[in-house]
């Protein structure tokens, strides 16, 4: 068993938060109201008491979404805000809910003048047995064949930019310090075995209960 801290890993690229592209289920509608020069009012209801992260995402074409707000109190039932930045119209919005345990949902898409159904996804996220967060939320690497093969692991943001990589993993079990990831949320990874891609996946890092 081995711990890896930020001092042993190299950080690459800029940190950006882009939208999740795949949903497991759709939630009821939320509301948007065009306030003209004052912006767009976005309001929602959150039925999940175990919600760990609630993000508002915006798009100009209803296809490519970017996160514009992470709610300070994600498990609050009734909430909202005014998006003052946009000037172009129409604008499209959706809500992303992430629950304790990593399960996530998208709302339907709402616009300043339209209501659209989300684009269906045929891909469902499945947890990896090699790279995952354990019961305490610690990023864990489990490689039973570590002493027989050469492993390399690359972590990336959801936009594909590399955050850091770990070369020559030799331990069967390795724990990573969350500080390596800079922020919480979803991260992609590529796991290589003897130079060949063994698995592509993603993990979700939750905010520590003691953090503020």
Report the CATH fold assignment for 26-116: Immunoglobulin-like (2.60.40)
Report the CATH fold assignment for 2-16+125-205: Immunoglobulin-like (2.60.40)
Lowest mean pLDDT among 10-24, 31-45, 93-107, 179-193: 10-24
10 Å CB burial of residue 137 (0-12, 13-18, 19+) is middle
pLDDT, average across residues 29-34: 81
What pLDDT does 2 receive?
Answer: 54
pTM exceeds cut of 0.75 = no
What pLDDT does 103 receive?
Answer: 79
Proportion of the chain above pLDDT 90, given as a percent: 19
Listed by start position, the domains of the chain span 2-16+125-205, 26-116
């Amino acid at each position: 068993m081995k711990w890896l801290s930020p001092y042993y890993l190299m950080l690459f690229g800029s940190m950006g938060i882009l939208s999740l592209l795949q949903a497991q289920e759709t939630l009821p509608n939320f509301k948007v109201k065009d306030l003209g020069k004052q912006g767009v009012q976005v309001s929602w209801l959150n039925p999940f008491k175990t919600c760990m992260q609630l993000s508002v995402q915006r798009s100009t074409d209803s296809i490519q979404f970017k996160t514009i707000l992470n709610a300070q109190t994600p498990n609050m039932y009734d909430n909202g805000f005014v998006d003052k930045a946009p000037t172009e119209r129409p604008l499209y919005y959706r809500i992303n809910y992430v629950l304790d345990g990593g399960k996530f949902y998208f709302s339907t898409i709402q616009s300043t003048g339209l209501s659209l159904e989300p684009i269906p996804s045929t891909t469902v996220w499945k947890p990896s047995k090699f790279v995952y967060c354990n019961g305490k939320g610690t990023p864990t690497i489990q490689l039973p064949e570590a002493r027989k093969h050469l492993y390399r692991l690359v972590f990336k943001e959801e936009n594909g930019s590399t955050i850091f990589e770990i070369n020559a993993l030799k331990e069967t079990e390795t724990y990573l310090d969350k500080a390596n990831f800079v922020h919480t949320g979803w991260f992609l990874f590529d796991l290589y075995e003897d130079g060949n891609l063994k698995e592509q996946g993603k993990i979700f890092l939750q905010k520590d209960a003691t953090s503020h």
